[in-house]
A = this chain, B = another copy of it.
Amino acid sequence: MAKKSRARSLEPLMRPRSVAVVGASRKKISIGREILRNLIVGGFTGPVFPVNTAADSVHSMKAYRSVEGIPDPVDLAVIVVPKQHVLKVVRSCGRKKVKALVVITAGFRESGEEGAERERALAASVKRYGMRMVGPNCMGIINTEPGVQLNASFANARPVPGKIGFLSQSGALGEAILSTASELGLGLAQFVSLGNKTDVSGNDLLEYWENDPDIELILMYLESFGTPRRFTPLARRITRTKPIIVVKSGRTAAGARAAVSHTGALTGTEVATDTILRQCGVIRVDTMQELFTLAMAFAHQPMPVGNRVAVVTNAGGPGILATDALIGAGVRLASFRAPTRRKLRKALPPEASGENPVDMIASADGDRYAAVLGPVLADGGVDAALVIFVTPVYIDALKVAQAIVAAAAGTRKTILTCFMGKTRSSEAVALLKENSIPVYSFPEDACRALAAMIQHQEYLARPVGKVTRFRVKKGSAAILRRARRQKRELLTFNESRALIDAYGLPLVPTHEVTDAGTALTAARDLGYPVVLKASSDRFPHKTEVGAVRLDLRTGDEVASAFEAMAPRLRRRDPGTRFHVQSMVRGGVEVILGAVTDPAYGPILMFGLGGTEVEVLRDVAYALCPVTDKEAQRLIGAIRGAALLTGFRGSEPVDLGALARWICRLSQLLIEHPEIQEVDLNPIIVNPPGRLSGVVDARIRVELPHD
């Protein structure tokens, strides 16, 4: 309920019945005048009221001295007054019962402490009067809906109407976004420059757009996530029906994290962001250019139902470029069925290739394009087609475009085109665009877009899986409570062992020992060979200080190893503890870890173990809670996955157990948010029936602040 009404409260913002422009200026070049002009030239369907403290008319329109002086009701006020007057104007709007504000004026949080103070006062005032506000420090909002036609921005570019919701955290980029979209013929439904996000946030808009039938595709330029925990479920839901493509900048801004464990060092804000976006089905691109490349295809073409692509070209070179790009992006080239092949052979001269990619050679005209595209698009083994045309002088490009448009009209399959050497074919390109068929200048861009569509479709088709709730032993809360009460960040080996044991993560058989005698007994108990190791939070990395002796095969070896190790390490830390552990033979070393991100919650990491994990970083991440399917995906996502699934005749390891351990660790993290980091490193996994288990565990908790 609260959510619905919150989203609905954006109606007067995006679909106002009347607009006041406060700070509408008489000066020829000014933002206030530009906004007024955009509202009027844009054809806003309701009345616009200029407000100017000094003039009776602005831009040939009657001007009012204050918002309160306007005799009619005002839904939306756009505020462009100098920063020191903003608050006064906002209060006046509140008294006038204005419902929504767009504050263009800069000089708030972004400009130091004084500005931040001003912003807090602004936020409080907006809240007091129950208004909604975009900005401050933004370039405005646009809604191209025919019944609204609101251009409350100072943008130069005129947006073309369409189905896209575009949200930009940077006003400066907004201008570039609008002008590029116009050039490309990308139609916008709504555009919002968010500015400082003091009231209306990206999440608010996403929620509003979720239920807005005008919006079918969402594009975003973001510098930060406001509330990731709100974004995650929202994005997961929306991307099921409306693709979201995002440029998230600030990759390198995130500083290095201090961390005690391997996992911590491997995880960072960027990894968290990537993980979350991927798991929510959000398509992240690196550059603005790529955003537009993808948007052209997503906005104008149906999604492909599969990944089998046909390439149809009149020139070999671009066909090769396309094939490279598609295969490089993991897309499959379709194999044509026999009847298709027969038809192509009939339609093509003998020098041409009737296999995919179809090279129709330079003499291909509109008729040949039609004769080839018909059977190719009708082939049940083809999900999408990339049609390439390089303008030879003697071929009528317009007829080729007409043939493509006609072929597209008869199918629901995805069609992208690439017209090269366009000097001669601007009419053809225009015709394709009019018919919602994207035209690229180079085949690689078309392939990038097609690959993104196919990957998104695969995401949508992938089963989400379910979160299993495992039964766990009691006592874990008590362990964590005691450590926190005693202000110990790092759990002891025995505490860590008890905690993972409670969640069903098996530790390799291990006994604590105190001297050579108990070490001997423990070794006999466990059976040879064994490992002797020492732990202390003074030396987190055991191998560095010689705190591990592997593969001890006799009592003598155990005793002498203890005598050699214990006095030396006890001098470093008298509290050093010693353990004798069964030596696990064979198997593959993996690492399971987790870091709890302050914004995103616990993020789980899986990778190959041992020294390599740190150097080669062969790891994959998942946001908790991890579903059964996600755990399987995680295991398959690392480069070294082949080591687990049976390599060079070795038996596959117990993948079922490994997946369950991942889910169990996820549950531990979800149920104990006070856990900051977990590092199960290594875990040795063997084929089913042989000994597998956690060899070493380190767990760090957050200490209570006081």
Chain A residues close to B by CB (< 8 Å): 29-31, 34, 106-107, 110-112, 115, 154-157, 168-173, 175-176, 178-180, 182, 221, 223, 247, 249-253, 286-289, 314-318, 320-321, 323-325, 327-328, 350-351, 361-362, 390-394, 420-424, 441-442, 444-445, 541, 543-544, 551, 553, 608, 611-612, 614-618, 639-640, 642-643, 647-650
Contacts and interface: CB of A to CB of B under 8 A. Distances in A.
Report, nearest first, the 5 A-B pairs whose CB atoms are least far apart.
A170-B317, A172-B315, A175-B421, A176-B420, A111-B351
Given A29-B394, A175-B390, A288-B321, 19 more contacts: A31-B393, A106-B362, A110-B351, A154-B393, A156-B393, A170-B315, A171-B317, A172-B315, A173-B321, A175-B420, A176-B420, A287-B321, A544-B649, A611-B643, A612-B616, A615-B640, A615-B647, A616-B640, A617-B639
A506 to B, nearest CB: 25
A133 to B, nearest CB: 20
B314 A172 contact: yes
B615 A251 contact: no
B649 A253 contact: no
Contacts of A173: 315, 317-318, 321, 390, 420
Contacts of A642: 615
Q: How many copies of this chain sit in the oligomeric assembly? A: 2
A65 to B, nearest CB: 24
Nearest to A543: B648
Given A110-B351, A649-B544, A156 B421 contact: yes
A317 B647 contact: no
A441 B324 contact: no
A301 to B, nearest CB: 21
Contacts of A442: 176, 287-289
Contact of A317 (B106, B169, B314, B393): B169
Contact of A157 (B288, B390, B394, B423): B423
Contacts of A289: 441-442, 444-445
A618 B640 CA distance: 11
Of the listed residues A288, A553, A642, the one surrounded by the most CB atoms of chain B closer than 10 A to its CB is A288
Q: Which of A155, A423, A441, A639 has the most B CB atoms < 10 Å from its CB?
A: A423
B421 A287 contact: no
Contact of A176 (B179, B324, B421): B421
30 contacts: A29-B393, A29-B394, A34-B393, A112-B350, A115-B351, A154-B393, A156-B391, A156-B393, A157-B421, A169-B317, A172-B315, A172-B390, A175-B421, A176-B318, A176-B420, A179-B420, A182-B423, A223-B320, A251-B324, A251-B327, A287-B325, A288-B321, A288-B442, A289-B441, A289-B444, A544-B650, A553-B553, A608-B612, A612-B612, A612-B616
Contacts of A351: 107, 110-112, 115
A616 B615 contact: no
Contacts of A287: 321, 325, 442, 444-445
A324 B616 contact: no
A444 B318 contact: no
A393 B25 CA distance: 14
A441 B292 CA distance: 12
A350 B175 CA distance: 25
A227 B221 CA distance: 47
Contacts of A445: 287, 289
A688 B110 CA distance: 56
A317 B643 CA distance: 43
A628 to B, nearest CB: 25
A614 B328 CA distance: 20
A288 B176 contact: no
A110 B319 CA distance: 15
A422 B179 contact: yes
Contacts of A315: 170-173
Contact of A250 (B172, B221, B324): B324
A324 B249 CA distance: 7
Contacts of A112: 350-351
Interface centre among A107, A168, A171, A615 (most CB of B within 10 A): A615
B648 A541 contact: yes
Q: Which of A29, A30, A182: most chain B Cβ within 10 A?
A: A29
Given A393-B154, A423-B156, A615-B643, A318 B172 contact: yes
Contacts of A180: 441
A192 to B, nearest CB: 15
Contacts of A421: 155-157, 175-176, 178-179
Contacts of A362: 106, 171-172
Contacts of A424: 156
A640 B252 CA distance: 23
B423 A179 contact: yes
A33 to B, nearest CB: 9
A574 B145 CA distance: 84
A200 B399 CA distance: 36
Nearest to A588: B611
B390 A317 contact: no
A391 B649 contact: no
A94 to B, nearest CB: 28
A648 B249 CA distance: 33
A333 to B, nearest CB: 10
Contacts of A321: 173, 247, 249, 287-288
Contact of A251 (B31, B115, B328, B350): B328
A544 to B, nearest CB: 4
Nearest to A421: B175
A118 to B, nearest CB: 13
Contacts of A250: 320, 324
Contacts of A249: 317, 320-321, 324
